Amino acid sequence: MPLLRESPVWDCFERFFLFLSTNSEIDTQPLLESAFNDGKKVFIPKVSFVPKGGQGLVFYNVTSTEGPWKKGAFGIREPSPMGAGKPAASMDFPALIVVPGLAFDKSGNRLGKGGGYYDRFLWELDTERRQYTTVGLCMDFQVVGNVPTGEKDKKMDRILTKNELFEIK
């Protein structure tokens, strides 16, 4: 993903939150490797029980591009107990957060997979007044004219495809 790495937003953040892609998503391994090569502190999500009840995303600091990973909720790779460092804390912000989705539009709207995990995570960050910038990561064909939204849906600050990185105005 040279478009992100070569953009000014890349250099603005020392902390990088990234998901581990599935076979149906754009490969995040090059971003993971770039983050480590550039000395960024990297966090990978794990579906966990959260203090306010229910399941949510907890991002753990990882120190290797190779994990160790395990299959977690929904068959998604996540840090294994041996490979997971400490969960992200207030000192780990500001951060650049890369977010998956099924579709995005050029207004920054995102259609997730229906669980609301990322929307709840971002709302929690807002409640705690943590500073972050979001980048929706997808394939070119996943950028569509209009994405339906609800009041709890969080807009992206930028959208990144293989061929384009654009900032949402």
Upstream peptide bond of 100 is cis (omega within 30 degrees of 0): no
pLDDT tens-digit readout, 22-49: 988 999 999 999 999 999 999 999 998 7
Residue-number span of the structural domain to which 84 is assigned = 2-167
Return the CATH number at 75: 3.40.50.10420
For the chain, where are the alpha helices, taking DSSP H only? 2-5, 8-11, 29-37, 117-127
pTM given for the model: 0.94
User: How do residues 71-110 score in pLDDT, each as one tens digit?
Assistant: 887 788 999 877 678 999 999 999 999 999 999 999 999 9
CB-CB contact of 79 with 111 (8 Å): no
**pLDDT one-digit tens code per residue, 110-166:** 999 878 899 999 999 999 999 999 999 999 999 999 999 988 899 999 999 999 999
Instruction: Give me the number of domains the chain comprises.
Output: 1
Residue 141 is predicted with a pLDDT of 96
